[in-house]
Structure 1
Amino acid sequence: MRISTLFILLLVITGACSCPGGKKDLLPERVVLQAADGMNLGATLYRPAGESLLPGLILVHRYGGNRAVWEGFARAACHAGLLVVAPDLRGHGESAVRDGKPLPYSGLSEAEILNSLQDIEAAKNHLLAHGADPQNLALAGEGLGANLALRYTLQAPDIQAVVMISPGLEYNGIETEDAICRLRDCPALLVATEGDAYSALSASTLKQNAPVFAELRTWPGASHGVDLFAAHPESMHFILQWLGSILDGK
């Protein structure tokens, strides 16, 4: 994979949707995933044109969010050459029904939220089944999704890079301080804004505790999660470049 710095910058600034070289833009594909426990999950797959074995990226939203918040970033990542999947975690978006009954995120127990790790596993399996390179897989999450991304990485040695945007030492019972200490062979990027005090403190603490390469990057303001991209468009470019540098080395 090679990421064009100029092209990504233009995407971030203009929100352009055309593929390099004048190729017609591919429409995102709505898919349905199934977790190991039978939970059906709505998701969107973003596939670059004309490629076979591709670096894969899973995008995990925050508590109370849905996969749509990743739309701009997912398109930019796809145009940069990554095969991307963004699922709605159980209880969220199009994944809020189980056995014909509503499953609102507000009613999820901590144990049920932890079961969202199965949702990430289902997303990874979908990537692998649709052309992702098993040696080039990355995971990015925002808010609770950042915590879940870290926790999933501990059980999935095939994840080569993890990006945590606005992580917390604890969200909804999902803790990270001990988890980061057990991270092995997986570089981490920790992202926060200075005014999002809890996430900024959490990200700093996680960097200090990480036994692997961990980069901390902060921006001014108080944006949380992917809201950062609207306040600081260059942050999207930075994250994609960081992912490219890690995945290129595989």
Structure 2
Amino acid sequence: MADSGVAAGSAGTADNAGKAGKAGKAKAGRTTPAWARKSTLVLLITLLALAAFGTTTQTWMTATLDPNQAGAAQSVLPVQGSKAATTVTALALVALAGGLAASIAGRIARWVITAIIVLASAGIVTAAATVLADPLAAAQGTIATATGVSGSQAHVELTAFPAVAVVAGCLLALGALLIIPASRHWKARTKYDAPVAAGPSAPAGPVDEIDSWDRLSRGDDPT
């Protein structure tokens, strides 16, 4: 009798250990990768959007005017990114708002937000690349404000910030594209994202008000 009891206890211990090992493996398999963590990805998109926005507050180019033709009080005009590429500021804010909204959005909304951020990133890259391709045309607005004459000739020297905006826009688009695969590891925040799980059937009999509210909170219709 004692031997059988010891054997049964050993078998129960082995079963418990096996179950614990399987649970540990399952938990390890469900571990979210570092790149797919919601906080990490949202922070990455936020920083890249702020980087693109921050470049527009800096000088993108300096225009040196001809002193014989210019009517400006100074011959060297700094041109900020917000004036050289006005759309970059707005698009960076759109991408920033989209990144923050992705953290609380549903499954379908994440696809829409991803598309919006990618399009905003493409606009940032296009606007900054246009400045790099033709800096004189981008500086004409500032030159015309300073001299009162449009179409003036000037020697324009670029800084590194337009290139930084291009890089930030490209990385921002890549970060946005990670939202879709990464969101598979995120916990569902709404009943529409929650997977349908096989659970116990609803209890038979009359349902009081408290039970009705509990079932409504789970997405069930008690009626």
- Which has the larger helix fraction? 2
- Which has the larger strand fraction? 1
Structure index of larger Rg: 2
Task: State the TM-score, normalizing by the size of structure 1.
Answer: 0.22
Higher relative contact order (CA 8 A, sep 6+): 2
